[in-house]
């Protein structure tokens, strides 16, 4: 049999296995992206194995428990009944037909891309690769990562001299398939079902694209193929930079509106009545989450290799990064107007998640705000129904425990950073001596003790 016919056989065999739900799917990284994805595949009766280096996550899932608030244990238990399991044993990747990588891509201390999770994962996969497997990267990253970083590690580290399938490859018998498909998770979004979010896919060659489209088409209602992994990588960056830039714009307009004595929320509401050419974005205490505060810096870093400066993107990043400092200044001014200095003041921060009604701390502006308040001498406590405690993260070390929201009357200032639906804001305003609101959570509530910033 010729190498061409072997390669064709590998392609059609995997495509058929996916279409008939016989393919085994491995998902690496069982966090806010990987776990929901794995559950979608189990719902369609794929045999799914989740891989993670965190033994506590593996043990919880194999016991039918959940560690993500929006995923109830019943969903884990239902997946277990459909042969879902979790493991830290990466040698089991050999048994998988498709391997999907959902690991973090944070920034380092210099605000440059930290690809260590991708590179370490690729090194863990490589020894267990076999011909005919499909490897898909979902982690948000700069254009070129799949081809320039992931593929070389996979090719170099496997023991069978396998190569990623490309156009014109000579040794087609020893190939695996590679694609990129950006995750589009939106934690807390209840208005759009996961399977209704179109899935962009870009393969290293046409066969890889078709396999990835078939794989994702089994669980998503629409798949959008693009010409290459780099196009798919750039697509995700455009989506998030679009939001970052527009949030920066409205944050800057908020600062101007405060000086002019205007209510930016009323302005946005009025502008939103225009039926074309306008999409509302809202100001806040800073950006948080796994994508918007991070992704622009990935593209800015990559652009330097092309001798290109992304001035617009970098300016948006500066504006958004400055918002926690604006919040702390507003707290200081509000306290000063009551004859109290920030140094020594008791401040209660309401909400530390990066947005309302989720249990996600990643890049939350609340963490920066707490650190800044403490640096200025404030005695800071917090309340958040989703976080009984805060420990140590990549860029913070707070070691704090949640205090009762009922104690708002014991503080010099109550600072609303995350507008969780669980809070009774009218009651809070009635019992707090001073409320500084960064989210317009107290809209419609009147009180001389409210400062909106």
Q: Which residues belong to the active site?
A: 291
Q: How far is CA 361 from CA 54, 57, 100, 324, in A?
A: 18, 17, 24, 15
Asked whether the CA dihedral 116, 119, 121, 127 is positive or negative, the reply is: negative
- Is 250 within 8 Å of 264 (Cβ atoms)? yes
């Amino acid at each position: 049999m010729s190498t061409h016919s072997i390669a064709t056989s590998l392609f059609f065999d995997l495509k058929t296995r996916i279409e008939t739900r016989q393919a085994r799917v491995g998902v690496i990284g069982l966090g806010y992206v990987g776990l929901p994805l794995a559950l979608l595949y189990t719902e369609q009766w794929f045999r799914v194995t989740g891989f993670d280096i965190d033994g506590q996550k593996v043990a919880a899932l194999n016991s039918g428990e959940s560690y993500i608030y929006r995923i109830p244990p019943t969903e884990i238990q239902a997946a277990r009944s459909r042969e879902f399991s979790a493991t830290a044993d990466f040698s089991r990747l050999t048994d998988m037909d498709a391997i999907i990588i959902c690991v973090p891509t944070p920034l380092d201390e210099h605000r440059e891309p930290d690809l260590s999770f991708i590179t370490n994962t690729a090194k863990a996969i490589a020894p267990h690769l076999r011909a005919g497997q499909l490897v898909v990267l979902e982690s948000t990253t700069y254009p070129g990562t799949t081809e320039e970083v992931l593929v070389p590690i996979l090719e170099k580290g496997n023991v069978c001299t396998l190569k990623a399938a490309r156009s014109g490859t000579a040794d087609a018998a020893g190939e695996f398939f590679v694609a990129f498909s950006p995750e589009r998770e939106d934690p807390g979004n209840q208005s759009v079902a996961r399977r209704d979010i179109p899935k962009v896919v870009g393969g290293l060659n046409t066969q890889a694209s078709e396999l990835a489209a078939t794989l994702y088409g089994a669980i998503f209602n629409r798949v959008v193929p693009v010409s290459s992994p780099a196009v798919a990588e750039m697509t995700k960056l455009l989506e998030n930079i679009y939001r970052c830039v527009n949030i920066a714009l409205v944050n800057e307009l908020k600062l101007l509106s405060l000086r002019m004595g205007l209510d930016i929320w009323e302005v946005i509401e009025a502008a939103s009545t225009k039926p074309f050419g306008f999409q509302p974005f809202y100001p806040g205490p800073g950006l948080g989450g796994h994508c918007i505060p991070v992704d622009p810096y990935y593209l800015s870093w990559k652009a330097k290799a092309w001798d290109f400066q992304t001035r617009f993107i970098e300016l948006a990043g500066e504006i958004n990064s400055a918002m926690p400092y604006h919040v702390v200044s507003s707290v200081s001014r509000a306290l000063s107007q009551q004859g109290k200095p920030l140094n020594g003041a008791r401040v209660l921060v309401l909400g530390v998640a990066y947005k309302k009604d989720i249990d996600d701390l990643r890049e939350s502006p609340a963490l920066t705000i707490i650190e800044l308040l403490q640096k200025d001498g404030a005695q800071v406590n917090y309340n958040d129904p989703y976080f009984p405690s805060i420990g140590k993260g990549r860029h913070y070390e707070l070691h704090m425990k949640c205090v009762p929201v009922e104690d708002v009357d014991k503080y010099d200032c109550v600072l609303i950073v995350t507008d969780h639906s669980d809070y009774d804001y009218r009651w809070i305003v009635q019992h707090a001596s001073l409320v500084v609101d960064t989210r317009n959570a107290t809209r419609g509530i009147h009180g001389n003790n409210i400062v909106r910033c």
